[in-house]
Amino acid sequence: KIFITGALGQIGSELTIKLRNIYGTDNVIATDIRKNDSEAAQSGPFEVVDVTDTKTMIETARKYEADTIIHMAALLSATAEKNPVFAWNLNMGGLMNALESARELKAQFFTPSSIGAFGPSTPKDQTPQDTIQRPTTMYGVNKVAGELLADYYYHKFGVDTRGLRFPGLISYVTPPGGGTTDYAVEIYYEAIKNGRYTSYIDKGTYMDMMYMPDALNAIIDLMEADSSKLIHRNSFNVTAMSFEPEEIAAEIRNSIPGFEISYDVDPARQQIADSWPNSIDATAAKEEWGFKAEYDLEKMTIDMLEKLKK
Ligand code: VAH
């Protein structure tokens, strides 16, 4: 049984559906802080779980005899920066409860890290798998602490923990909430609706990105990978592309001639973006478990606009 927290979030909502298609609906238990009318909540087993409530978390995972725990419940970077104390409690308290559940149930464990786990002193171009990690955001502090905690549970308790440092993720299913990279999602919705977009991230700001189908496959490929082949665990750099606002705007213009981008920079989210890498190196993921991304900027743009037009 696969137990997912944050199953109604940006990644969780699509991951739940994909896992149900692969492993069987009744084998994938979706949980989140509240239910909604989404397919992930309605199409199979669902439980209301507040990941900061240790008792409910462990009892619910035990009830289903979970053998895999996928912990997705967290606050993203911009929201975390506005509520740093709440972010620490949710991001770290929730992770601790999820790891304790995995330890008790001897379950395999996945939780995502992020390019946000890097900071201003990290090499910014082709950021290596093993390098300096001194992030300057609460989200980044949570991600570095989370990587170390998950590795600790592997070395100390033998929990099979695995993770991915995700770049900005782009999808047409569940709009993200509170991220810094979300301009790259909003721009597609606005392109269809208004033929123009005002970006809160400045031109020339490079960030790694990935289309959601590639992110979901990366999670499944990592979790299915031969444990003896893994040199790293928490967490692997993965990326599909790196671009700045002018480049995604130009790609959209290839499908929607006349599309215009303008700028109204949000200093808070620009500061977060400026502290992150321009591009990261995913060699370790490719070598240790065969990571590869199918979508580049051109292919993603065609698919996003096609799906959003429907
Ligand atoms: C965010 N989309 O912006 C998330 C992600 C790398 C970015 O962590 O916070």
Looking at residue 132, what is its pLDDT?
98
- For residue 76, the ligand 1 atom closest to its alpha carbon is 9
What is the 106 CA–ligand 1 centroid distance (Å)? 30
Q: Ligand 1: does its nearest atom lie under 6 Å from the Cβ of 180?
A: yes
Q: Among 10, 91, 113, 166, name the best residue to mutate to test ligand 1's pocket (greatest count of ligand atoms within 8 A of Cβ).
A: 166
Write out residues in the chain with pLDDT < 50, as ranges.
none
Looking at residue 174, what is its pLDDT?
82
Q: Ligand 1: does its nearest atom lie under 6 Å from the Cβ of 87?
A: no
Per-residue 3-state assignment (H helix, E strand, C coil) for 236-301: EECCCEEECHHHHHHHHHCCCCCCEEEECCCHHHHHHHHCCCCCECCHHHHHHHCCCCCCCHHHHH
What's the rounded Cα separation, in Å, for the pair 101 and 123?
A: 36
Q: Among 169, 174, 272, 276, name the best residue to mutate to test ligand 1's pocket (greatest count of ligand atoms within 8 A of Cβ).
A: 169
What's the rounded Cα separation, in Å, for the pair 47 and 34?
A: 8
Residue nearest to atom 4 of ligand 1 (CA): 179
- For residue 77, the ligand 1 atom closest to its alpha carbon is 9
Looking at residue 300, what is its pLDDT?
98
Looking at residue 82, what is its pLDDT?
96
What is the 156 CA–ligand 1 centroid distance (Å)? 29
Looking at residue 10, what is its pLDDT?
94
- Largest separation between any pair of C-alpha atoms in the chain: 57
Tell me, yes or no, if 64 is annotated catalytic: no
Q: Ligand 1: does its nearest atom lie under 6 Å from the Cβ of 167?
A: yes
Q: Ligand 1: does its nearest atom lie under 6 Å from the Cβ of 10?
A: no
